[in-house]
Every structure is written in structure tokens, then in C-alpha cells.
Amino acid sequence: MSNVREDFTPMERAVRGHVLRIAHRGASAYAPENSLQAFEKAAEMGADAVEIDIQITADDRPVVAHDENLQRVFGLNVTIGDVTLDQLGEMLPTDRAPIPTFEQVAAVCADLKLGLYLDIKRLNMAAAGHIFDSLAATGLMAYTIFGSFRPDFLAELKAYSPAIRTSILFGSTHVQPVWLARAVNADYVHPCWEHAAPEPHRLLTEAWLTAVRAANLGVVCWHEERPTEIAALSALGVDAICSDTPDVLARYS
């Protein structure tokens, strides 16, 4: 898998020569978010990995969708967790990109040589078993980071498989990132600060970065589409940047 690297530790940036480029929900500026088409486009545009959102159906099948409710994307007032995988497939409009299963996404991304950055929105251990089975079957386990806003989810996943890499997401600029990461034994901190300031890269102060690096934590940044911000984040030495526009990410990171 030539596009992705087995080692996603902070030291890998120096080897790779560029920030890890993560396509946010795939190349979602150019194709439907979290769709197979968006992942294929991300690979074409030079992404190293794709960020995908995990929801769980009523029969414990992991699927790839950002919203638990289908209203925004499909115009249906249906909650994914209330229906089975078969029911979900039957009710989705045929003129829209379908919601893929995690198994399908893992297979496609393995073929495309893309790593996975999972944003776990919902979790139970039956569904986690399906996720781990798919990663093992496709050889993607070493190319996957498990992320979530939910510290309890990361703690459960780390207990289930201690060798995995995890990333804790947070929106507040007042979070103590090292404390939060250590509480759940995370490997990465992921500030979601795209709307926190006009130039959010300035929030990553020297003191903030020094503390995070001293704790041997990697830094994954919010989804960013502005070339000047992408270039500034890259210059700061962050390990990964998410973006709806992986082509812009490839040019400026």
C-alpha cells in the first residue's frame, strides 16, 4: 500500500515529507459525503487517508454516515439506529448515493491504498467486532486511527484492542489536551477549531504544541479548506490535516 504508511506516529511526518492528508468524509467538496465516489475522488486527488463517520444500525451493523438522522442528506425523518441494515437499504432514495457499510468502505479503501480515520459517532461492542473483522480482512488495521468526541468510546476500543491508535476530538479551546488524551490513553489530539477564530492556526500556540509534543502525542487538525490556513498548519508541524478539498491539501501541505 504505497500511499499510506504503517506508522502514523509523530515521527512519520519527517519520513513522509508532508502532513498526513486526510480527506474529510472523502473528497466531500466534489462528491456526496461519505460515499464510495467521494473516497475514489480522494485517492485521485492525492489523499493519504479518508475520514469517515460510523453509525450503527438496529442490528449492530456499522455503516458510514455523519448524521444519525437521515433528514439532512436524504429528506427522511428516520434514525439509523432504529432500523436494520436491510430496512435502511430499502428506504433510501435511489437517486442519491447510498449509505455504504463499513465493510464496503474498508474493501474499497484497501483497493485505493487509502488509510482510514474513523470518527466513531455510535458504538457497541457487537458493531466494534464487525469493524475489527473488516479491518483484519482487508489488511487496513495498521493504517487506521480510531477517533471520537466520546472518551468512553475510545476507552472501550483501547480495552478491546490495546494496540490500536486512537484520537480524541474536542471542540472547546479551553480543553487541556494532554490531560484528556492521557485519561483514555489516546495517541492523538484532534482540536476541531475551524470556526473558533478567523485564523484558527494561531490557536495552536508554541506552548500548546510543546506540551502536546512532550507527551508524545500527535496532532490531527480540523477540516480546513483555506490554502493560507493549510499552509500555516503545515508549517507548524502538525501531523495531519483533514479537508473537504484534498486537492488543495496536496498543493499547500
Query: Which of these, 217, 215, 223, 219, lies nearest to 248 by C-alpha position?
Result: 223
Cα end-to-end distance, the chain, whole Å: 21
Domains present along the chain, CATH in parentheses: 12-252 (3.20.20.190)
Q: Are strands 240-243 and 62-64 parallel, antiparallel or unpaired?
A: unpaired
pLDDT in tens, the chain (253 residues): 444 444 554 444 444 567 999 999 999 999 999 999 999 999 999 999 999 999 999 999 999 999 999 999 999 999 999 999 999 999 999 988 999 999 999 999 999 999 999 999 999 999 999 999 999 999 999 999 999 999 999 999 999 999 999 999 999 999 999 999 999 999 999 999 999 999 999 999 999 999 999 999 999 999 999 999 999 999 999 999 999 999 999 999 7
Residue 117, C-alpha cell as written in the block: 480515520
Do the strands 62-64 and 49-56 form a parallel or antiparallel pair, or are they unpaired?
A: antiparallel
